[in-house]
Amino acid sequence: MTPEQLATAIRHAVVEAVEAGEITLEPSQIPSDVTVDRPRNPEHGDYATNIAMQIAKAAGVSPRVAADLVAHRLRVLAGIASVEIAGPGFLNITFDAATLGEVARAVVFAGEMYGSIDRYSGSRFNVEFISANPTGPLHLGHTRWAAVGDAIARVLVAAGAEVQCEFYINDRGAQMDKFGQSIEARAMGTEVPEGGYQGAYVDTLARQVVAADPAIVQIAESDRWQAFREAGYGLQLRQQQDTLEAFNTHFDVWTSERSLHASGAVERGLAHLSEHGHVYESEGAVWLRTTDFDDDKDRVLVKADGEFTYFASDTAYYVDKRDRGFDVCIYLLGADHHGYVNRLRAVAACAGDNPDVNIEVLIGQLVKMYKGGEEVRLSKRAGNIITLEDLVDEVGVDAARYSLIRYPVDSPLTLDLDLLVTRSNDNPVFYVQYAHARISSVLRNAADLGIDWRTSDFEPALLTHDRETGLLGAIAEFPRVVATAAELREPHRIARYLEELATAYHKFYDVCRVLPGADTELGPQTYSRLWLCAAARQTVANGLAMLGVSAPERM
RNA sequence: GCGCCCGUAGCUCAACGGAUAGAGCAUCUGACUACGGAUCAGAAGGUUACAAGUUCGAAUCUUGUCGGGCGCACCA
């Protein structure tokens, strides 16, 4: 019996009590999601539920009475050893040893699919993140989303969703012109224009552009900056793409703002919005009445000079995504863009969609970084930006991704580069990976001894040691953690869970000898513990895969 | 001024409204001539910023105050 099945059984017991006339509840008063916790205190059993306290009031009975009605229906179920009523009305449930042990077998059989659930099967998600200008390298501000956005996508996939990761290239507008003019200036040895790009990378781009096309310097001065702009654009975009692939973050689709205009998607988007009646003209400009839907002020789509605004591209892009068949469009934005939330939701509403369903804007707070006890400030002008590549060079892909993913994004994150490079528990990725390597070592040693646990008898009832049941319980939690992480779009829950799972394994390993040694002989216990090890390793590996972090067999 | 986010151990942070608020780091004390000591066992460390409220139960929900971050374009 899994925790999920237990929850179902508990709900069923409530329904039975109602049908038997023992308590009176409306169908809506029976919780659809029954809470089943793993208590911290082992005296409280393997699992605990608060169902009695939830229904007591509506049923007009005391929690203890409600608890008793549920308890005696659970006690007769196969696999449940005991059900006790405790405290204000908690039900503390203990499984038979074999019931818990069966988890190991199920995990081994499920393999890489363990933890995959069907919560979102049939749903199509578009996850857009980073979406930087192609005018420079990706920096720390983008890095958090590069890791977290990718992990969110992986978790949603594990939850059964069809997911497309998308990068929106802001390749239109004045900043691109400044970019071109800056490269040109460096190549021609002239002054970088006011407000232009100063970083050393501009020099590098200039050299690369000229090296690839020496004739570019011969172009007439009036047109030359545009040639530099296009050449630099191509190089910089390529560089961003290579960096992200090396970071284990893959985008299925790269959509450029220019292409939205070239393909007529912008006009189509505006037409779509007009049909829904939220577009109007005023003071020579065309506006979207976003104030119909909670925005502070209406937004301009077409300026008085006839130019489309950036906002026009955004609205068209949203309509385009929905036309491509996505049920939910997720936007991951930095805190410096939180002012966009209401207007983006308003766009969805203006397009005739439900902003509570079809669009989701997640805001991530900014990342600070310390080195040598001092904050490393981000400043493109001063040229001391930390790029995603810098971070990876310092700490490696696994540590960088893990450190960025293991915290919720709604609070600002402070990372200490000096601690990240040390292989201590300040960087728990090593703790988790070590558990995987350690299990791998045990299984390797077993094979060297000629022990084939797969073809041996697995006896789940032998796994009764506290450290064994603790590990089994941790393994059994995984699918529920995936469900929560997916529903809340919080992949940090996977990381935190993996740390608990690793702890459970290390504790088990410390006390429970697996392979035959001085005091232990090859027998059923060895085989059963090897099954448990295999299940633990599989779960660790599956969890790390959801974070895009490697699961090494040796470290 | 208005809006969003945050305030938890010395530090970095956890905790889908549940039982005694937990980890790691730092400090202190222990554990292998058997499977990887990058581990494990233990000690110490708290008025969950503050004040009211909601309820069987609040770090979590509501309101207010204080403190910090970010944002309020016919820029992109």
Residue A43 has pLDDT above 90, yes or no: no
Q: Which residue in this structure is represented by tokens 């699961």?
A: A551
* Confidence at residue A425, expressed as pLDDT on a 0 to 100 scale: 63
Cβ of A215 near strand B (under 7 Å)? The reply is: no
Cβ of A487 near strand B (under 7 Å)? The reply is: no
Cβ of A512 near strand B (under 7 Å)? The reply is: yes
Cβ of A96 near strand B (under 7 Å)? The reply is: no
Residue A126 has pLDDT above 50, yes or no: yes
Q: What is the tens place of the pLDDT at every residue in A275-312? A: 999 999 999 999 999 999 989 899 999 999 999 999 99
Question: Per mean pLDDT, which range of A29-33, A143-147, A205-209 is the poorest?
Answer: A29-33
The ipTM, to two decimals, is 0.96
Q: Which of residues 138-197 of A touch strand B (CB under 7 A)?
A: 170, 172-176
* Confidence at residue A139, expressed as pLDDT on a 0 to 100 scale: 84
Name the DSSP class of A132: -
* Confidence at residue A218, expressed as pLDDT on a 0 to 100 scale: 95
Residue of least CA–C1' distance to B6: A411
Q: What is the tens place of the pLDDT at every residue in A45-71? A: 999 999 999 999 889 899 999 999 999
* Confidence at residue A382, expressed as pLDDT on a 0 to 100 scale: 46
Domains of chain A: 3-95 (3.30.1360.70), 130-262+365-421 (3.40.50.620), 424-546 (1.10.730.10)
The span from the CA of A75 to the CA of A79, in Å, is 9
Distance of A505 CA from B73 C1′ (whole Å): 55
Cβ of A261 near strand B (under 7 Å)? The reply is: no
Give strand letter and number of the nucleotide nearest A419 (CA to C1'): B25
Q: Which residue in this structure is represented by tokens 């939910």?
A: A328
Give strand letter and number of the nucleotide nearest A496 (CA to C1'): B14
Distance of A493 CA from B5 C1′ (whole Å): 20
The span from the CA of A362 to the CA of A335, in Å, is 9
Q: What average pLDDT does this structure show over A262-270?
A: 95
Cβ of A335 near strand B (under 7 Å)? The reply is: yes
Cβ of A423 near strand B (under 7 Å)? The reply is: yes
Q: Is residue A495 a contact partner of residue A402, using CB atoms and an 8 Å limit?
A: yes
Cβ of A256 near strand B (under 7 Å)? The reply is: no
Q: Which residue in this structure is represented by tokens 């930006």?
A: A385
Q: How far, in Å, are A109, A116, A158 from residue A112 at the CA level?
A: 9, 8, 10
Q: What is the tens place of the pLDDT at every residue in A429-467? A: 999 999 999 999 999 999 999 999 999 889 999 999 999
Q: Which of residues 295-324 of A touch strand B (CB under 7 A)?
A: 296, 300, 303-305, 307, 309-311
DSSP A25-78: --GGGS-SS--EE--SSGGG-SEEE-HHHHHHHHHTS-HHHHHHHHHHHHHTST
Q: Where do runs of H (alpha helix) occur along A388-465? A: 388-395, 397-405, 417-421, 429-448
Six token digits for residue A511: 């006390």
Distance of A430 CA from B43 C1′ (whole Å): 26
Residue of least CA–C1' distance to B19: A87
**DSSP-assigned beta bridge partners for residue A255:** A168
Q: Exposed e or buried b for every residue in A197-230, given b needs 16+ CB within 10 A? A: bbbebbeebbebbbeeeeeeeeeeeeebbebbbe
* Confidence at residue A370, expressed as pLDDT on a 0 to 100 scale: 78
Q: What average pLDDT does this structure show over A6-33?
A: 92
Cβ of A499 near strand B (under 7 Å)? The reply is: yes
Give strand letter and number of the nucleotide nearest A488 (CA to C1'): B16
Give strand letter and number of the nucleotide nearest A301 (CA to C1'): B74
Distance of A510 CA from B29 C1′ (whole Å): 19
Q: What average pLDDT does this structure show over A35-41?
A: 90
Cβ of A426 near strand B (under 7 Å)? The reply is: yes
Q: Which of residues 65-84 of A touch strand B (CB under 7 A)?
A: none
Residue A423 has pLDDT above 80, yes or no: no
Cβ of A554 near strand B (under 7 Å)? The reply is: yes
The span from the CA of A476 to the CA of A471, in Å, is 9
Q: Which of residues 101-120 of A touch strand B (CB under 7 A)?
A: none
Q: Which of residues 436-455 of A touch strand B (CB under 7 A)?
A: 437-438, 440-442, 445
Q: Which residue in this structure is represented by tokens 């099945």?
A: A5
* Confidence at residue A239, expressed as pLDDT on a 0 to 100 scale: 96
Q: How far, in Å, are A8, A123, A162 from residue A328 at the CA level?
A: 29, 8, 11
Q: What average pLDDT does this structure show over A529-546?
A: 98
The span from the CA of A112 to the CA of A309, in Å, is 47
* Confidence at residue A414, expressed as pLDDT on a 0 to 100 scale: 81
Give strand letter and number of the nucleotide nearest A313 (CA to C1'): B76
Q: What average pLDDT does this structure show over A359-365?
A: 93
Query: Is the Cα dihedral A516, A521, A522, A527 positive or negative?
Result: negative
Residue A426 has pLDDT above 80, yes or no: no
Give strand letter and number of the nucleotide nearest A341 (CA to C1'): B4
Nearest to A189, CA basis, from A211, A213, A212, A207: A207
**Nucleotides in chain B with any atom closer than 7 Å to protein CB:** 3-7, 12-16, 18-20, 22-26, 34-41, 55-57, 68-76
What's the order of all strands across the beta sheet hosting A253-256?
Answer: A253-256, A162-169, A124-128, A328-334, A359-364
* Confidence at residue A385, expressed as pLDDT on a 0 to 100 scale: 65
Q: Which of A172-181, A414-423, A513-522 has the highest mean pLDDT?
A: A172-181
What's the order of all strands across the beta sheet hosting A47-49?
Answer: A36-37, A47-49, A90-95, A80-86
Cβ of A377 near strand B (under 7 Å)? The reply is: no
Distance of A364 CA from B71 C1′ (whole Å): 13
Distance of A384 CA from B74 C1′ (whole Å): 34
Write down the mean pLDDT value for chain A.
Answer: 92
Give strand letter and number of the nucleotide nearest A414 (CA to C1'): B12
Cβ of A422 near strand B (under 7 Å)? The reply is: no
